[in-house]
Amino acid sequence: MLSTDNGLEFLGEAFVNRAQQAGLTIQYIQPGKPNQNGYIERFNRTFREELLDQHLFVNLDDVREAIYCGWPSTTRSAPTMRWTT
């Protein structure tokens, strides 16, 4: 079972079909009730505040590299990183 909000990315035909192919059911939370999906809402907030809002990324590969190099502790330096604070 997947518990998600009612965002457009979770209502699309491709997502719903893929979930069905994998044998999963989708349980949508009530609109306006993010506390029903609190764990992922907290993760999204932390991810945005501690990584995405702290750096200026040039492209998606830079974000992937930052995650790979140690998020949540992205403060250590890595010579291959191209993003800046």
**Residue 73 confidence (pLDDT):** 57
Average pLDDT value over all residues in the chain: 79
Q: In whole angstroms, give the CA distance from residue 26 to residue 5.
A: 10
pLDDT per residue as tens digits for the range 45-71: 888 888 888 888 899 999 888 888 866
pLDDT per residue as tens digits for the range 22-35: 999 988 888 888 77
**Residue 74 confidence (pLDDT):** 43
pTM of the model: 0.52
Q: In whole angstroms, give the CA distance from residue 30 to residue 37.
A: 10
**Residue 21 confidence (pLDDT):** 93
Alpha helices in 1-85 (DSSP H): 8-11, 13-21, 38-47, 60-68
